[in-house]
């Protein structure tokens, strides 16, 4: 309850700074009997890993995750799963400048004001590096959810003013390009845009869409732990996210009820079919059985080479230029992170749902 954990039954608690000895965490609540190895987690970590192409930070961290507990002879035992990723690329550098400056748009100032001290090396706890642990935990959640038939996928749908064509959406394409774009034709547009941004020493924002398929009906706990509310929290907690929407989202503010209610029909299997999915798979805070669709908006990182005015720790006016290894579009690597946060949220709500499912009380 002190801020570094998320989830009630399936719960990830994390620790670690960008340039400290290690990142790590604990995954509680994973049921026993799930086959699990470090390789299972590494797949997702590798998707998030920086230094793989010119569009992400040059920092080269192998991001090798170790499982320290909770797995025995290749399967989970029901006890907490300890995770650790050592920080190996703690490049020795001179922090004397950044140590005294608050970078605009960064958490430097608030950490310093809140705590009176901050680990200024590489952003400390506020570094996007922290999300590696989310991805590791999310990979466990994802594997657990797979046993329930749930698949979670995300894609980059816009970068700055460039956007994909939804008609050309192909999930298989996502793994083939460095942008996680589901539209092969948009890759050229993203490339051109990002090369320009990099050349200018600037950064650019992005939109990510996450889709979860195979979720059963009724996951979510109204009225406060609604599934959409918990997804909003989980996604908004990712660095640089400034907006979250479900289904048709913000657009629904402009629409009419007669257009946006998802009509229902008798389904093949005695269930229900929906004519559309403006609701994004969630009604009244609970899953409808349709695909769950969430989108998140990420701001452009403030780590740019264009000078900005700021102040230092003793209150003097200063100018800052953020040199060094920074992603010009943090939205790209947010794609696997968003998947992880949705996986963690759904795994938790699946267990919460199961706790009361299948009872016959009278």
Query: Which residue number, 172 or 270, has a Cβ lying nearer to a second copy?
Result: 270
Q: Which of 140, 141, 132 lies closest to 14 in space, CA to CA?
A: 132
CB atoms within 10 A of CB 333: 24
Decide if residue 151 touches a second copy (CB under 8 A): no
Residue 80 or 172 with smaller CB distance to a second copy: 80
Pick out residues in 232-251 that bind a second copy (CB under 8 A). Answer: 232-237, 239, 241-251
Give, as ranges, the residues between 216 and 235 that touch a second copy (CB under 8 A).
217-218, 220-226, 228-235
Q: Is position 362 an interface residue for a second copy (rule: CB under 8 A)?
A: yes
Nearest to 330 by CA among 130, 151, 184: 130
Nearest to 294 by CA among 354, 356, 338, 348: 338
Contact pattern for a second copy over residues 340 through 359, marking x by CB under 8 A:
-----------xxxxxx--x
Contacts to a second copy from residues 280-299, by CB under 8 A = 280, 283-289, 297-299
**H/E segment holding residue 111:** helix 108-115
Site string for a second copy, 84-123 (x = CB under 8 A): x-----------------x-xxxx-xxx-xxxxxxx----
- 3-state secondary structure (DSSP) of residue 64: coil
Instruction: State the Cα–Cα distance between residues 247 and 291, nearest whole angstrom.
Output: 9
Burial 141-153 (b: 16+ CB within 10 A, else e): bbbbbeeeebebb
Find the binding residues for a second copy in span 166-185 (CB under 8 A): none
Q: In Å, what is the CA distance from 92 to each residue of 56, 106, 122, 132, 334?
A: 20, 22, 11, 21, 27
Please list, residue by residue across 60-87, b when 16 or more beta carbons sit within 10 angstroms of its beta carbon and e when fewer do: ebebebebeebbeeeebbeebbebbbbb
Q: Which of 50, 138, 331, 336 binds a second copy (CB under 8 A)?
A: 331
Nearer to a second copy, 45 or 337 (CB): 337
Q: Which of 58, 170, 264, 323 binds a second copy (CB under 8 A)?
A: 264
Minimum CB–partner distance for residue 273 and a second copy (Å): 9
User: Is residue 43 within the footprint of a second copy (CB under 8 A)?
Assistant: no
**Residue closer to a second copy, measured from CB, 92 or 172:** 92
Contacting range for a second copy; rule: CB under 8 A; set: 41-49, 88-96, 179-187, 268-276: 268-276
Q: Which of 43, 54, 68, 166 binds a second copy (CB under 8 A)?
A: 68
Q: Whole-angstrom Cα distance, residue 239 to residue 330?
A: 9
Binding-residue pattern over the window 183 to 202 for a second copy, x denoting contact by CB under 8 A: --------------x--x-x
Smallest distance from the beta carbon of 209 to a second copy, in angstroms? 12
Name the minimum Å distance from CB 213 to a second copy. Answer: 17
Strands 11-15 and 5-6: antiparallel
Q: The dihedral of CA 176, 171, 300, 113: what is its sign?
A: negative
């Amino acid at each position: 309850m002190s801020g570094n954990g998320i989830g009630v039954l399936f719960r990830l608690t994390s620790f670690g700074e960008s340039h400290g000895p290690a990142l790590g965490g604990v995954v509680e609540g994973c049921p026993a009997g799930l086959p699990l190895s470090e390789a299972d987690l590494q797949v997702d970590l590798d998707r998030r890993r920086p230094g793989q192409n010119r569009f992400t930070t040059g920092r080269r961290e192998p991001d090798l995750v170790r499982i320290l507990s909770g797995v025995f002879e290749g399967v989970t035992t029901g006890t907490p799963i300890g995770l650790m990723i050592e920080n190996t690329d703690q490049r020795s550098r001179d922090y004397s400048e950044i140590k005294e400056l608050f970078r605009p748009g960064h958490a430097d100032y608030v950490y310093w004001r809140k705590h009176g001290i901050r680990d200024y090396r590489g952003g400390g706890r506020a570094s996007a590096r922290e999300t590696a642990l989310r991805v590791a935990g999310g990979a466990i959640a994802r594997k657990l959810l797979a046993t329930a038939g749930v698949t979670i996928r995300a894609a980059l749908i816009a970068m700055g003013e460039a956007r994909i064509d939804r008609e050309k959406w192909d999930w298989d394409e996502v793994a083939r390009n460095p942008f996680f774009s589901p539209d092969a034709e948009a890759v050229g547009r993203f490339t051109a845009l990002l090369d320009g941004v990099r050349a200018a020493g600037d950064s650019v924002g992005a939109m990510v869409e996450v889709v979860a398929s195979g979720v059963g009906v009724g996951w979510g706990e109204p009225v406060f732990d609604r599934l959409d509310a918990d997804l909003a929290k989980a996604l908004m907690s990712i660095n640089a996210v400034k907006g979250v929407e479900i289904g048709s989202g913000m657009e629904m503010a402009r629409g009419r009820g007669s257009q946006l209610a998802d009509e229902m029909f008798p389904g093949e299997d005695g269930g229900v079919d929906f004519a559309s999915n403006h609701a994004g798979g969630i009604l009244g805070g609970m899953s409808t059985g349709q695909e769950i669709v969430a989108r998140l908006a990420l701001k452009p990182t403030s780590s740019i080479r264009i000078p900005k005015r700021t102040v230092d720790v003793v209150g003097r006016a200063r100018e800052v230029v953020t040199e060094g290894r920074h992603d010009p579009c943090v939205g790209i690597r947010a794609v696997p992170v968003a998947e992880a946060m949705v996986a963690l949220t759904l795994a938790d709500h699946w267990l919460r749902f199961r706790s009361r499912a299948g009872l016959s009380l009278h």
